[in-house]
């Protein structure tokens, strides 16, 4: 099991794993943001019922136990609302590398939430897990996400050709990377 997450409270957000009772709220958030989320990620198109949302929550817990993924809900501290998700996936202790991912519900974008949540996750990755490098893959054209990474100090390292299936198309992805010594 991965160590517990120690940066749960940021200025405006609380980051913590979802509990099963929150699967319904997750489904609602994904339903209302499906168009924007589904543009650059495949799974929101598939999350259409409560069972799927429950599996998403369950899988997050299992993967944490398996020391593979840290998946956290992003909650707005002021309202308690679930506003998104941030995760560190494919944690590889030998290579000391992991992959960052995030999304924010459509009616809460443009407030810096993704960057704030990602920064807390990067502290955990570098300080707690002692990762050497964190990577992030962004669909070519997803300028908002690329900007989030730019602001965190990530470097664009190249383009992965037709790397992930989104809908019916294999989509090119920009590979971004951040080294531990570059993070501050
Ligand atoms: C990408 C996403 C996570 C950004 O979340 P967010 O909380 O709005 O991000 P932030 O507010 O921290 O930063 C967004 C930055 O992108 C910029 N931006 C947003 N839309 C943009 C666009 N169309 N063109 C250029 N820049 C854009 C914003 O201006 C901001 O930069 P700034 O602070 O310099 O003004 C959110 O839009 C989202 O969930 N998108 C769908 C899912 C997704 O793409 N996830 C990432 C997969 S790699």
40 ligand 1 Cβ < 6 A: yes
Q: How far is the CA of 109 from the centre of ligand 1 (A)?
A: 7
Q: How far is the CA of 66 from the centre of ligand 1 (A)?
A: 31
Cα separation, 117 vs 74, whole angstroms: 7
Nearest ligand 1 atom, CA 111: 11
At residue 160, the pLDDT reads 98
Test site for ligand 1: of 147, 166, 173, most ligand atoms within 8 A of the Cβ: 147
At residue 6, the pLDDT reads 84
Nearest ligand 1 atom, CA 118: 12
| Atom 20 of ligand 1, nearest CA residue | 144
At residue 165, the pLDDT reads 94
106 ligand 1 Cβ < 6 A: no
As to burial, measured by CB atoms within 10 angstroms (0-12 exposed, 13-18 middle, 19+ buried), residue 153 is: middle
**pTM for this prediction:** 0.96
Tell me the CATH class for 13-131+143-150. alpha beta
pLDDT tens, per residue, the chain with 184 residues:
889 998 899 999 999 999 999 999 999 999 999 999 999 999 999 999 999 999 999 999 999 888 899 999 999 999 999 999 999 999 999 999 999 999 999 999 999 999 999 999 999 999 999 999 999 999 999 999 999 999 999 999 999 999 999 999 999 999 999 999 999 8
Test site for ligand 1: of 102, 140, 144, 177, most ligand atoms within 8 A of the Cβ: 144
């Amino acid at each position: 099991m991965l160590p517990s997450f120690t940066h749960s409270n940021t200025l405006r957000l609380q980051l913590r794993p979802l509990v099963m009772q929150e699967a319904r709220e997750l489904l609602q958030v994904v339903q209302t943001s499906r168009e924007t989320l589904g543009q650059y990620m495949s799974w929101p198109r598939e999350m259409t019922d409560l069972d799927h949302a429950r599996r998403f929550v369950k899988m997050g817990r299992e993967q944490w136990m398996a020391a593979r993924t840290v998946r956290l809900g992003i909650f707005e501290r002021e309202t308690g609302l679930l506003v998104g998700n941030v995760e560190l996936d494919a944690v590889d202790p030998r290579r000391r590398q992991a992959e960052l991912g995030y999304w924010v519900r459509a009616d809460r974008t443009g407030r810096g939430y993704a960057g704030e949540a990602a920064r807390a996750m990067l502290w955990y990755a570098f300080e707690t897990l002692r990762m050497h490098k964190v990577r992030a893959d962004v669909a070519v054209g997803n300028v908002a996400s690329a900007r989030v990474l730019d602001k965190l100090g990530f470097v664009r390292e190249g383009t992965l050709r037709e790397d992930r299936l989104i809908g019916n198309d294999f989509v090119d992805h920009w590979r971004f990377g951040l080294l531990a010594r570059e993070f501050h």
